[in-house]
Amino acid sequence: MILLALLSTPVTIPIAIVAAALFVAGIAVTGALIITVVSFFFAAIVTGVVSFVVGLGTIIESFWTGLFYLGIGLFVIGFLIMLVPAVRAIVSWLIQGVTTFSRWLYKKIVPTNRAEQNRKRGRR
């Protein structure tokens, strides 16, 4: 048995390195997606506010152009206000899913010791 473990070491070490690299890459991609969504949200907020302010400044000079920019600014701000509950629900669902997956993975990887097994069975 020990001989088999020693012979399989040249294969298992690169597999472990690749698995760790894939895990790190997954975390990096998830972080990049989160940063992208947050930056898009803030860019939309800035666009709405700037459009509204430009509309206020332009309405004196050219009424219809100012009204157009005011409308765009109000539309973007209103749309973002309507998106807030949906985004909160999606983030809550994602956090719950990751938590459930982590618990499942932990139970698969970490073996239970005898004390935990006896507690599950109702013994002391």
Q: Is pLDDT of 60 > 70?
A: yes
Distances (CA, A) of 97 to 23, 94, 100, 115: 17, 5, 5, 29
Q: How high is the pLDDT of residue 97?
A: 77
Q: CB burial class (10 A; 0-12, 13-18, 19+) of residue 69?
A: buried
Q: Is pLDDT of 116 > 60?
A: yes
* Reported confidence tier of residue 33, pLDDT bands at 50, 70, 90: confident
Chain segment 97-106, per-residue pLDDT in tens: 778 877 887 7
* Of residues 56 and 96, more confidently modeled: 56
- pTM (predicted TM-score): 0.61
Q: How high is the pLDDT of residue 95?
A: 78
Q: How high is the pLDDT of residue 113?
A: 66
Q: CB burial class (10 A; 0-12, 13-18, 19+) of residue 80?
A: middle
Question: In the predicted model, what is the mean pLDDT of the chain?
Answer: 82
Cα 60 from Cα 34, distance rounded (Å): 40
